Amino acid sequence: MKNAVLLLFILSLLTACGGNTEKKQETAVTTTDSAVAATPKPKNCQSVVDADKLGKADVYQESGKSIKVSLTLDQDTSSTQVGSNCYFNNTITVLATKKSGSQLFKRTLLKDDLLYFTKSDDAIKQSILKKVIYKPTFNGQRYITLTMHLLEPVSKKTMDFTLFMNYFGEIVKVK
C-alpha cells in the first residue's frame, strides 16, 4: 500500500512539473522569435576599429597582483546611427584569471554600461567604443582599473572614462 501511494505521489509530481516546463519553453520561444523579428539588420555600417584589432586578446599581468587580465575587443551586433552614417558598436570582454589558471570573472562591457555612472548620456549614445586599456595600480588593492576610449565618429572627438572594477566583475566607480 505504501508503495502504491508513493508511486502515485511521484507520478503526480512529474506530471505537474512537466506541464509547467512545456509552457515556459513555449513562452521563451515566442519571446525570442518576436525579439529577433523586431531588430532590423544594419546595412552598410562602418567600423571605427581596424579589423585586425578585433578578436585579439591583450593580456596584462602585474607583479603585485595575483591575477592576469585579458581584454578582447569585438564588434557588437548593434549599430549607432550618426547623421546619415551608420557605425558598428564594439564590446570589450574582460577575463580575469588567478595565477593558478582558474577564472576569477568574465564580463562583457558595452559603452551603455557607462550611462549608469555619468550625467552626459547624449555624448555616450552618439559615440563608439574604440579601445580599452588596462591601467596598472602598482599596489595590492583588490580592484581593476580600465580606461574606455570612446570616439564620436563625425567630429572625431574622444572621451576617456576610467572604470574601477572589483574582483567580482562589478563596476564600482567611473571617473
Q: Cα–Cα distance between 1 and 38 in angstroms, integer? A: 56
pLDDT of res. 1 = 62
* Per-residue pLDDT in tens (0 to 9) along the chain, 175 residues: 667 766 666 766 666 655 554 444 444 444 444 444 445 554 678 788 878 788 888 888 877 778 889 999 998 888 888 777 888 888 999 999 988 888 989 999 988 888 888 887 888 888 888 889 998 877 767 888 999 998 888 888 899 999 999 888 888 988 8
Q: Are 67 and 143 in contact (CB under 8 A)?
A: no
Whole-number pLDDT of residue 13: 62
CATH top class, domain 51-174: mainly beta
Distance CA 146, CA 94 (A): 10
Q: Are 133 and 147 in contact (CB under 8 A)?
A: yes
Q: What residue segments make up the domains of the chain, in order of their start?
A: 51-174
Phi-psi category of residue 68: left, alpha or beta, with phi > 0 → left and psi -120 to 50 → alpha: beta
